[in-house]
Amino acid sequence: MTQSWTLSGRVVIKPCGSNLFLFQFFHWRDKEKVLLGCPWCFDHQLLILNEIEANEQPSNTRIYNLPLNCRSDDDVKTIVANYGSIMDIEPDDLGLENFRRVKLKLDVSKPLRRYQRI
């Protein structure tokens, strides 16, 4: 992963449990680059990264077949509010697409839904 990330500084990776690792970045820009580039994949497995802040625990979701009058950012925020905290909403200035991409921070200890009827 460190080669894929092309970091300018060092990173130390320490195992701290079953499928759980700590990453210590020695430059704040490297950490920011890696966290903003999520999600990552390593050896055909999803690599879930998160800053250690209190007891928080991420994923990219696409909302399909939105009616024309439900494509604004506020509508999308309302639709996904119950799934996790919103990190980013892909812009759609013209509102012509029938989907929106949303980056959410999810609780990965709970199963993911394949789809949800709204």
Which band of pLDDT confidence, cut at 50, 70 and 90, is reported for residue 62? low
CATH at 72? 3.30.70.330
- For residue 35, is it within any domain? yes
Average pLDDT, the chain: 75
77/101 same-domain check: yes
Q: How far apart are the C-alpha atoms of 11 and 37, rounded to whole Å?
A: 16
**Domain of 95, in residue numbers:** 59-105
pTM (predicted TM-score) = 0.43
pLDDT-derived band at 112, boundaries 50, 70, 90: low
110 is a domain residue = no
Q: Which of 111, 64, 55 minimizes the C-alpha distance to 83? A: 111
Rounded average pLDDT over 50-68: 57
What is the distance between the alpha carbons of residues 39 and 101, in angstroms, rounded to a whole number? 14
CB under 8 Å to 86, separation ≥6 — which residues? 77, 80, 102, 103, 104
Name the domain count of the chain: 2
Report percent pLDDT > 90 for the chain. Answer: 0
Question: Is the pLDDT at 99 greater than 80, yes or no?
Answer: no
